[in-house]
Structure 1
């Protein structure tokens, strides 16, 4: 996908999305870890340990070809997306915990994303085709973390502007992701049917398992229901835009971006359906009560 959409539009799109994330963050979001350590530790353990293991098992089960397998592992290594906060709010999760997890996970991903991706590249013998070198890692997280830092500075200096921009930026993020997915599908139009057949089921199943793990494991660990709802969406709604960016611009292999694109297309519907399941079958009414700070 060597076009203006990838070389110019994709970095700008990711920058806008991460700037919007920064507008919702404050330094207190990082300090809040000390007030809810169990919820944070359990959620991060699910994100960093359980999900990559689950994804690896699914990749082997579905016998994906190397580049698509790497794309799935890259998706699993990507931190939570900005839409997680919206779903958590809609289904009465602890949104403050979402923001805290997103902030921390985005920092940890500096190490975890290239580590998991490079392990996948080595395991699936894709190292002759793609590689994620240290200089490229720095490039990725410059475009990820600098807009976040800028957004946080804007929020600190102009909190009223940050509040006004919250909804427009969230809408823009969803539109941007839709455009990226469409661009990838058009670029790979000759292989769309084959890719859908190969990764449609595995990405849908991965999304469902991610959401379920994100809720059930914290509940088993004694985390409150509102925090478990937040954890579920934070873990289940990955930053597909980041996965697509790394695949297309860093690894320079559009096929690796296909799982992220397919996931980005179906995730919104699966997450909404999961929210309904949570509210109707898994969560008591007391979950709507506030959580102690």
Structure 2
């Protein structure tokens, strides 16, 4: 599938827009940090099998499988890059709500989201650079958009790390302020991102047919494989149904809004990659709600043991 126009699509953003997007991206990460608690990390070390194996599947195995998909199916380079970016992103808070609806182990979901969000400061840029470099098509695309590896690594770690550190400091030193800011900032950053991306997509509405024909099938397949990876990992470890539901949802739901913002901010608005991330953001909600609806009507099997004992529920 080479030579198609999707690799030439650019969601052009002026300098003011880039500045606004940077602020939105900082708000997203800051809001994520306000949700993190020490207990989430302590539980990972107390009962490590489920969360650590799930994190391995999410942060290491899925990016590798994604690279294999791009090598086997040969999507257009911008699509392949978008898939790699999404696979490299951490879990999103919406997975906690979906897990709760599915009657899964919400505490496990929260712990995995928290740890993956913190590790993403390093794992997200490293996974993008490493796997994109191993695919000749995406490697050429990175050179085309003038991505210098060390500069990308440093700037992305700063973009993710600084607001994360500020958010963690707020929670630690001013917990009441963190509690007051958490929900409004998350809602505000989400609305800003939707408005920003909606405007960019509206100006490129002529590419809708290309999205449906060339991108949506890869998004659906990619998400289905992530679902299978999460479920399969839990089954290999013989985890309880309670934990299996959480791991399946957590591995298959990524912070695609973060991926979309990174693509627009770091990859010159590469349209094919951006549309993959946007498509993921919609589709994983559909698949997640479908899984939750299926499992909600079925009691978790009692076999196995819950690996994370805390019984928090997602808000």
Do these two structures clear the TM 0.5 threshold for a shared fold by scoring above it? Answer: yes
The range that moved more, 97-106 or 190-199, is 97-106
Deviations 1:46-80 (A, max 9, x none): 11333123323433454311122111111111111
> Are 1:45 and 2:56 counterparts?
yes
Instruction: Give the alignment partner of residue 262 of structure 1, picking from 279, 283, 293.
Output: 279
**Contact conserved, 1:98 with 1:231, CA < 8 A, in 2?**
yes
1:22 aligns to 2:33 (yes or no): yes
**Residues of 2 paired with 1:282 and 1:183: CA distance?**
43
Number of matched pairs:
292
The worse-fitting range, judged by mean Cα deviation, of 121-130 and 264-273 is: 121-130
1:228 aligns with 2:252: no
Equivalent residue in structure 2 for 1:120, among 121, 127, 132: 132
Equivalent residues of 1:71, 1:259 under 8 A apart: yes
The farther-off stretch of 81-90 and 278-287 is 278-287
Q: Which residue of 1 aligns with 2:204?
A: 188
Give 1:268 shift: 1.6
* Cross-structure match for 2:267: 251
RMSD over aligned CA atoms reads 2.9
Offset of 1:103 from its aligned partner?
A: 3.0
- Partner of 2:143, secondary structure, is coil
Q: Within 5 Å, which residues of 2 pair with 1:67-82?
A: 67-82=78-93
Q: Tell whether the 8 Å contact from 1:178 to 1:265 is kept in structure 2 after alignment.
A: no
Aligned to 2:313: none
Look up the match of 2:309: 292
Aligned counterparts of 1:189 and 1:121: Cα–Cα separation in 2: 31
Displacement of 1:12 in angstroms is 1.7
Distance in structure 2 (CA, Å) of the matches to 1:285 and 1:9: 49
* Distance across 2 between alignment mates of 1:116 and 1:291: 27
- Cα gap change, 1:277 to 1:183, in 2 (>3 Å): same
Consecutive unaligned residues of structure 2, counting only runs of 5 or more, are 1-11, 311-315
Determine if contact 1:211/1:271 at 8 Å carries over to the other structure. no
Q: Which residue of 1 aligns with 2:3?
A: none
- The 5-angstrom pairing of residues 128-147 of structure 1 reads 128-130=143-145, 131-147=147-163
* Residues 111-156 of structure 1: per-residue CA shift (max 9 Å, x gap): 4333332232452232431325222322222222222222222223
